[in-house]
Amino acid sequence: MGKASNGMTRRQAAIVIAASALAQRQTFAATPAGTIDATLRAAVETKSIPGVVAMVADKSGGVVYHGAFGVSEITTGRAMREDDLFRIASMTKAVTSVAAMQLIEQGKFTLDDPVQKYLPQFAVVPKFVSFNAVTGAYSVQPAKNAVIVRQLFTHTSGIGYNFLSPILRDFKPRDGETYPVGPLLFEPGERWFYGESLDQGLGKLIEKVSSQSLEDYFREHIFTPLGMADTFYNVPQ
């Protein structure tokens, strides 16, 4: 959601911003803005990050600090601006969840509906029974329980991320095998594992029930009403 600066490491940017914001929330009254400027500028000069935009606000004074440092495009050297766009990565999940809750409020589906009621690819979802980390050999079988909508919200569906799960990272389907969903890491509802539940499930459910793409649904029902004119699912040129 938004345009990433070339070379920007989201984790590094988040650490700098969060550390600055936390420190200033606690000691802003005693800390001059120039100190924050120096801290963020130093992070750029030491090449910890190519660029950063930071803002501090509180409930009584509103915005009490804002600044931009470094470059937003390494190839051109264009200076970072306070209104530059950034990818918000998994913060998109919060927007997707809002969209889904809107549709639940309208009675389009419920938290405890089986996802397969709306998305046929969830009718028979395979689950890993075994996986050999050395050879890559694996066996799967259909999950005993259906994935329900609530489990997509709460990351308890069994759907994972390959960068967090060594099994999914190394998993290579055999010739002729395709998996529209899964294989799951565990039985739905059995435990928690951060993954693509909102990607593979909730987002597609929203599109199916609303008959709109996520881009169009977000724009019409969330971004426009909230005046979020610079937030996009796919950033236009």
Catalytic residues: 90, 93, 194
Phi and psi torsions of 131, nearest 5°? -150, 125
- Residues sharing a CB contact under 8 Å with residue 188, sequence separation 6 or more, in sequence order: 125, 143, 145, 146, 147, 148, 151, 156, 157, 158
Inter-residue contact 24 to 57 (CB < 8 Å): no
SS3 per-residue string spanning 11-70 = HHHHHHHHHHHHHHHHHHHHCCHHHHHHHHHHHHHCCCCCEEEEEEEECCCEEEEEEEEE
Residues in the chain: 237
Phi and psi torsions of 184, nearest 5°? -75, 150
DSSP for residue 160: -
Task: Give CA–CA dist 189/112, Å, rounded.
Answer: 12
